[in-house]
Structure 1
């Protein structure tokens, strides 16, 4: 399907691997002009057909420089995808290291502020401006033993809704994507950490997680990318302020 994204100017944070890689490649394959940043230099070296930059999204000054350069080089901006995030620590709230809490909120939430504040002026000049923020189902149902991550992802939804209200009059829409259990190394590491914490096998932990899901299969990064492409296209021009779950109907994160 041609979504009319040829020439669309897009920035994707943490776009060199996992969900971000699927998103950035999806835009590229639709003919968009894509700039990707990531903290992982090795992953960036494998990115093809896109402009890349090594950036720590928690470094506000570095983000400001990256955004200014990317927007200048592309001649504007039509879509910002805030994908960067970390899993954060696993443990009871009383055992969570304060630095782990701070780091998780900085990367998962504050980084979206860091990029968005630099993008708004360019998005106002776009005929099809949009912001897509990656949240998580943890931002809707909570997540025991993962309080920093859940808190940050709830914050992403509030930030997104506020952006939709604020920027809608300028023709800019903002939406959040809430993935459930996504296939990949990050999800595997999360389940491994929880299994270790609970003293049970990985298989038992995985089975417990899927016991709360109607469609008992992992979400793929490509499914997340497909949702982003639709939202960024003119087909999604009246969708804004939404927290859209792509989760197989997950009722609880276990």
Structure 2
């Protein structure tokens, strides 16, 4: 299916990489619906200014009732057919060593970041196009390695890759492909917040922490939202028709497995 005919649902697209993903599909002529708990007015404005088509439905992925309602509303806006689902909604997680992790913090991160993805996927599969539909989950480089102080977030991303592979097997008989993208640190407000937390613990400045993290990447930099979005679009397109159950790195070389 060509991109100009594609009906796309993107969760968590009010800002950041989700916004870039929504813009990328819309600029290719897709009809886009954004499901987000936040206002998506700025994303809608940017898309519409470029002549694109986009709508917003309110969705709290931590609430089953909200997800059921939002996905049904999104499907109606898309004439009952979803060609591509992009699961991007989530939170940064909390900042604790595992020996100090409050159970409530752990459960909140998994409820929003993992259970929410399962709920959206479950509901969206009812509306997936009968041929060549795709699901792309936004995972992370920390879904392939560990990271101190981020145990709740890391566990979710590892689990998301496992969920991606499981759903890929389950939906393959329907011709649905399911893949994940695993970004490295993405330029934007979220990574600034994460780096500041690490800097505070290590007694470093934000600039020192950025320099340290950038030096860990062979290309010596973070990735941009647009770079991640371009890979998401590739995984949704027929150009990747032989790919399913894959977790593709977009890390500037930080992770190579």
TM-score (norm 2): 0.92
- Residue 8 (structure 2) aligns with: 10
Post-superposition offset of 1:112? 0.8
Structure 2, unaligned runs of 5 or more: 46-52
Instruction: Map Cα deviations across residues 26-77 of structure 1 (whole Å, 9 max, x no partner).
Output: 1111111110011222x43552341102221111111101111111221211
Post-superposition offset of 1:210? 2.2
- Residue 30 (structure 2) aligns with: 32
Work out the number of aligned pairs and report it: 248
Post-superposition offset of 1:176? 0.7
Task: Pick from 162, 167, 173 the counterpart of residue 166 of structure 2.
Answer: 162
Distance 1:196 1:60 in 2: 36
Distance 1:231 1:12 in 2: 14
Distance 2:255 2:228 in 1: 19
Matched-pair contact (CA < 8 Å) for 1:28–1:50: yes
SS of the residue aligned with 1:89? coil
RMSD: 1.5
- Residue 119 (structure 1) aligns with: 124
Task: Pick from 186, 190, 204 the counterpart of residue 186 of structure 1.
Answer: 190
Task: Pick from 42, 50, 55 the counterpart of residue 54 of structure 2.
Answer: 50
Stretch deviating more after TM superposition (204-213 or 158-167): 204-213
TM-score (norm 1): 0.93
Distance 1:122 1:77 in 2: 6
Please state if 1:176 is matched with 2:146. no
- Residue 92 (structure 1) aligns with: 97
- Residue 214 (structure 2) aligns with: 210
- Residue 140 (structure 1) aligns with: 144
SS of the residue aligned with 1:106? helix
Distance 1:221 1:206 in 2: 17
